[in-house]
Chain A
């Protein structure tokens, strides 16, 4: 095989004829992509049927747009969707509202001159990014459950008599989710900014120092603006992913108490599709979600092109 291709290559003058053998070599991978990325799209037709799992699709009733109409017409369904959308928007908006934190983290960490301390902080704060959400939940459980460390400690100190329900309650669910998200992602989010900081031209700082700028002015007028382009890209990406909160985090923290405020779109699709067995309705919702997401991505990309002259995809 290798010999054959090399022969073909030497036989064809550069650029005149394209090599089809090279294309053949990547076909196995193209098949994988087709099977796991394109072929699943056929599943969208289930959104137009009343699919009842043991039966094959051919025996199920074709219902047209019934599920889509139900999403916007049926009262209880609409109420449920509004709550789910509220949660989705809340989590995404809170995420965007705190998206500057990694940037500040990087700027402040850059001000630390002690090298080993800086490296240690960077290493240890990125660590939570590499553990799974199940693990995060396990940590949360060990620290904050009724028999967890915090409650036991507070009870031993005599500050509380009844354990505080951190996990089995619906108070401040959005905030708690945001905090766990920040715990997991802050250090990792800062890495990119820290790397960009090392690329800033040192002469800028020196020139500013000569002009009498102090350290805070340097941070504010040189470092901060230099990081803004990177920040803008990250912001655009999070806008494009507005509906994609993912489900892992919300799934593991979900329980019967906080369900109303923790069900984001991805989790809702799982809950009604896999456990509630409304497969067709779930498919209809995730189909709408995919379409809206792709549209969002193009809009964001268009905005990015117009304002910065660079596309993000």
Chain B
């Protein structure tokens, strides 16, 4: 009886109000998606279009006069390659260490045999809820001689309570028998960790990795506060300085390319706007590429996180 009704329901043609709603709904989300996507599209097409057209705001939908001069010249900007190297290094190293630490601690805190387990767990987790503040952190880094070193990007980010909770919750869902069997076979804690726990935790570690990588790549405040040495600038910080020093940029490029202007057509001549946009694209491109691949992991991650609050 019930099935019949449901069946009939599905066959029923859409009512007028349903149709109106559907049209409205698709339009709404089409528009929202466009608003999120268009700025990136705009940046990309303008960096590969003729710079004189771009400067006059003529490039809004399709690229015209395609050339890659902007990228060639911007990559020669002094400081850019160093900053890129710094950003890549901190992302790779920082992410690797965060993932390892989160995995190891998340696993260790499931070990009931550990002496003072819940005490240490609380000592670490409670740090999520307070922070000393900007100036005390600055003074601390100075005391530890970490300001103006690369390590200021890495060391404070290694232990992250939230990630540890994520992994711990996940490890708790792995059958205990697995570990017990390995213990009977004489496997030690480290062996159990890398032979059993690490492979079993791949999905949650992917989540942690992507969060950590995005945070490292996007981080900008730490450069602002702890770093004065230009050699240690991150890409984000460099981009920020580029946005703010408008016209001096174009001269910089002209100088660095040794007056390539005379022969180059006006279409490929650098303008402050073209430089800004090109650097922006370089900064955002890794995210654009990596992000769709990892999207499914985020959902899993925040769902596990929400279980624990």
Chain A residues within CB distance 8 Å of chain B: 1-6, 9-10, 12, 14-15, 18-23, 25-26, 29-30, 32-33, 35-44, 46, 105, 108-109, 111-112, 117, 120-128, 130-135, 137-139, 141-143, 147, 149, 152-153, 155-156, 183, 186-187, 191-192, 194-195, 206, 209-210, 214-216, 230, 233, 247-248, 251-252, 266, 269-270, 273-274, 279, 282-283, 286-287, 289-290, 293-294, 297, 310-313
Contact = CB atoms under 8 A, between A and B. Distances in A.
B92 interface: no
Contact of B57 (A125, A126, A127, A156): A156
A231 B133 CA distance: 29
Nearest to A35: B144
A149 B277 CA distance: 12
Interface stretch (B65-73, B104-112, B199-207, B250-258): B104-112
Contacts of B187: 2, 6
Contacts of B26: 112, 117
A266 B26 CA distance: 39
Given A33-B127, A134-B240, A149-B42, 14 more contacts: A2-B187, A6-B191, A19-B114, A26-B108, A29-B105, A37-B132, A108-B25, A112-B29, A122-B295, A143-B42, A183-B36, A195-B302, A251-B224, A286-B136
Contacts, number: 287
A124 B217 CA distance: 19
Given A40-B140, A46-B136, A134 B111 contact: no
B135 A283 contact: yes
Contacts of B136: 40-44, 46, 283, 286
A26 B87 CA distance: 29
Contacts of A14: 113
**Consensus secondary structure, chain B interface:** helix
B309 A248 contact: no
B280 A135 contact: yes
B36 A138 contact: no
B135 A269 contact: yes
A273 B295 contact: no
Contact of B239 (A4, A20, A135, A192): A135
Contacts of A141: 243, 276
Interface in B289-309: 291-292, 295, 298-299, 302-303, 306, 309
B155 A36 contact: yes
Contact of B120 (A30, A38, A127, A139): A30
Nearest to A310: B309
A123 B140 contact: no
A142 B292 contact: no
B177 to A, nearest CB: 14
Contacts of A214: 15, 17-18
B299 A233 contact: no
Interface in B111-166: 111-117, 120, 123-124, 127, 129-140, 144, 155-156, 158-159
B134 A109 contact: no
A242 B249 CA distance: 39
Nearest to A127: B36
